[in-house]
A and B are shown apart, each in its own frame.
Chain A
């Protein structure tokens, strides 16, 4: 099963659950209080997920390691390599 189908499947299941409760789709006598809580729930979830995404990406950008030492080490090694290769007869 492709990822797309997985997503569609989960979305349909959630939509059905929501319709059962918020719209009382089967006339099962869902209490009014519960219906009122369930009605805006998808929007809340969407907003919560958006906040989570922004926070996660923001945190990861802020904590993205800058490898200054690695660049410094590489620069030094490039010098060393050039010298050694020239000594071994490499014509650049």
Chain B
């Protein structure tokens, strides 16, 4: 079951893309996101691997990941579980350690990020030899699905304030669908201390500070088909705290 790729010639450019999928209770979504990844990587012919970093999900995410590994092969699906929930930054560090690709994709496993954009990220990266390519909901054909007016207003408002205060040179700071050169990601993660939404923001702000080049690809963001997404007062307060911290320290 090589996904029907044997008839299609591989792109022999020596690049390999490692997709990091940190999961926590994504039993429903993981098979679907993996299926989509295999489909779009297979069709475009780029060399890839998918690294699942499960943080001890009680719903059996790891068990279903093992099944997927049997279906798609141990060279395509790598399992690097951890015993308990330890946060996004360390999940990436943990994943990178085991990544054999020279490029790293990070994305959410909850289907809000669609793998169909992956070839566009790769083409964009090649075109400008960018250090990182960030998906953006705020430009071109980018957008969201499943957001009400309140959610849109908060998102746009927070983005505007951030743009004014930090001038980061990228339109979507809190998005987490990105392609990094492996070395760049390693260097950035070491410097980043924030958690949650702010972590992604800090990554891109520090990238600009270190003079890394940033490309952008418009993406559609389909808010959780399964499970629910939350944006409460707590998230807003911690976002503002994080923003002010970055404002004072970068």
Binding site for B on A (CB under 8 A): 2-4, 7, 53, 56-57, 60-61, 64-68, 70-71, 74-75, 77-78, 81-82, 84-85, 88-92
Beyond A61-B156, A65-B141, A85-B71, list 12 extra A-B contacts (CB 8 Å). A2-B249, A56-B160, A57-B157, A64-B152, A64-B155, A65-B220, A71-B146, A74-B111, A74-B225, A88-B71, A90-B67, A91-B67
Most chain B C-beta atoms within 10 Å of own C-beta, residue among A57, A64, A89, A92 = A64
In the bound complex, what is the Cα–Cα distance between A81 and B31 (angstroms)? Answer: 8
In the bound complex, what is the Cα–Cα distance between A65 and B143 (angstroms)? Answer: 5
In the bound complex, what is the Cα–Cα distance between A4 and B165 (angstroms)? Answer: 8
Interface residue from A4, A7, A71, A81 paired with B32 (Cβ < 8 Å) = A81
10 A-B pairs with the lowest CB-CB distances in the bound complex, closest first: A65-B143, A67-B220, A70-B220, A81-B35, A71-B145, A67-B145, A67-B143, A4-B248, A60-B156, A64-B152
CB of B237 within 8 A of chain A?
Answer: no
Interface residues of A: mostly helix, strand, loop or mixed?
helix
B222 touches A53 (CB 8 A): no
In the bound complex, what is the Cα–Cα distance between A82 and B28 (angstroms)? Answer: 10
Residues of A within 8 A of B142 (CB): 65
CB of B2 within 8 A of chain A?
Answer: no
Residues of A within 8 A of B156 (CB): 57, 60-61, 64
Binding site for A on B (CB under 8 A): 1, 31-32, 35-36, 64, 67-68, 70-71, 111, 114, 138, 141-147, 149, 152-153, 155-157, 160, 164-167, 220-222, 225, 246-250
Contacts A61-B153, A66-B143 given; does A4 touch B247 at CB 8 Å: yes
Interface residues of B: mostly helix, strand, loop or mixed?
helix
In the bound complex, what is the Cα–Cα distance between A45 and B249 (angstroms)? Answer: 27
What are 7 pairs between A and B in contact, CB < 8 Å? A2-B247, A3-B166, A4-B247, A56-B160, A57-B157, A67-B220, A90-B68
A3 touches B247 (CB 8 A): yes
Residues of A within 8 A of B165 (CB): 3, 7
Residues of A within 8 A of B114 (CB): 70, 74
Residues of A within 8 A of B246 (CB): 3
In the bound complex, what is the Cα–Cα distance between A67 and B222 (angstroms)? Answer: 7
In the bound complex, what is the Cα–Cα distance between A84 and B147 (angstroms)? Answer: 30
Which residue of chain A has its CB nearest to the CB of B111?
A74
Chain B nearest Cβ from A21, distance in angstroms: 26
Residues of B within 8 A of A89 (CB): 67, 70-71
Residues of B within 8 A of A92 (CB): 31, 64
Which residue of chain B has its CB nearest to the CB of A6?
B167
A64 touches B71 (CB 8 A): no
A77 touches B36 (CB 8 A): yes
Contacts A78-B32, A90-B31, A90-B71 given; does A64 touch B225 at CB 8 Å: no
A75 touches B225 (CB 8 A): yes
Chain A nearest Cβ from B174, distance in angstroms: 15
Chain B nearest Cβ from A8, distance in angstroms: 11
Residues of A within 8 A of B149 (CB): 61
